[in-house]
Amino acid sequence: MKVNSEIEYGARSDIGCIRESNEDSFGTAPELGLFVLSDGMGGLECGEVASRLAVETILRECRRAESAPPPNGNAASDVSAESKRLLAAIRAANEAIHGATQKNGTNGQMGATIVAVRFAGERMSLAHVGDSRAYRLRGGHLEQLTRDHSFVAEQVREGRMTEQEAGQSGLQNVLMRALGVAPEVEADVTEELMLDEDVVLLCSDGLTRELTDAQIAAVLGECHDAQEAADQLVDAAKQAGGGDNITALVLRRSRRSSGAFGRIGKWLKHSGN
C-alpha cells in the first residue's frame, strides 16, 4: 500500500512457532505518514493489552494533535512539530499503560516497547522506547537507526560484554526502559533524511533474534514490493526457529525522476555510501 505517491508500505505480524499468543501490535495512519509498532510484555493477556493500548493511544493522540499547536513538553527545541507530537503521544501511551497497570493490579508486570516513525516530505521523525528496532537500507547498506534500551545492549556499549555474549545471554529480555512500568518514560527521538529508494524497517525482537543483519538486508534489497518484503522477513524468521512473536513493517520510498533529493540518492547509491 502507499502513504502517498512516494511511500509504499507493507506489514505482517505473526505469533511465531512457540508462543501461545501474539503480544506484538502495529498500526498505521497513512494520512499522517505515521507508522507504529509495539511489543508487549507481561505474558498472555497483559502483553497483548499493553501493546495494543500503546499503538491505539499514539494513533489517536497524533490524529487529535493535528489541529493543535505542537506541545513543548520535554522535547528538544530544535526538533520538528511532527517529532514533538510523536513524543507527546508516546508519553500519553506510557500514562495509559501505567494507569491500566495500576487499575488491574498487575504490579508493574505490564509494559511495552514502542518504535514509531512519521514522514513529512523528505524528513522522517523516529522515536522509540525499548528494544523494538528501526533499520534503514540505503544503497545496499543496512543501518540500525535505534539503540536498544536493554541490559545486554548497555553492557555491549560499555564494553562489558561482546556482541556474541549478548546474543547468548539469558538476560536479553531485561529492558532498561519500557512503556508503562513507571509514571514517566524517556523516549529517544531523531530526525532522518529520506532519499530515493531508501527502505525503512520497523520490527520486534522476534525478527532480529532469528535473522542476521545480512539476511535482513538481502530481503529488503531483493524485494521491490514492501508487502512482499515484510512477508519474506517473517517467513524467514519462522523458518529460523520463530521463538517469539514476529512483526515487520516495511516502508519504501519510491524513485523520483528529478529534484535535488533524487540526485543525492542516485549519487549515494553509485558511491556505495
Q: Domain map of the chain by residue range?
A: 7-271
Among 30-34, 140-144, 160-164, 221-225, which is the least confidently predicted range?
A: 160-164
pLDDT at 160: 77
Span 126-138, pLDDT tens digits: 999 999 999 999 9
Residue whose C-alpha cell reads 549519487 in the numeric block: 267
Q: Is 35 helix (H, G, I), strand (E, B) or coil?
A: strand
Which of 78 and 74 is assigned the larger pLDDT?
78
pLDDT for res 73: 53
Cα angle, residue 54 at apex, residues 194 and 212 outer, rounded to 5°: 55
More confident residue, 67 or 29: 29
**pLDDT (average), residues 219-230:** 97
pTM (2 d.p.): 0.87
| Range 228-244 average pLDDT | 98
CATH of domain 7-271: 3.60.40.10
Per-residue pLDDT averaged across 146-157, rounded? 81
- Between CA 28 and CA 221 the distance in angstroms is 23
Work out the angle at residue 54's Cα, subtended by the Cα atoms of residues 49 and 60, and round it to the nearest 5 degrees. Answer: 120
Predicted pLDDT of residue 271: 43
Mean pLDDT (whole number) for 191-213:
96
What pLDDT, on the 0 to 100 scale, is given for residue 57? 98
β partners of residue 119 = 124
Q: Report the pLDDT value the prediction gives residue 164, as an integer from 0 to 100.
A: 73
CA-based nearest residue to 136, from 268, 25, 39: 268
When pLDDT is cut at 50, 70 and 90, the band that residue 162 belongs to is confident
* Mean pLDDT on 152-177: 76
Give me the pLDDT at residue 268, please: 44
Q: What is the mean pLDDT of residues 64-92?
A: 81
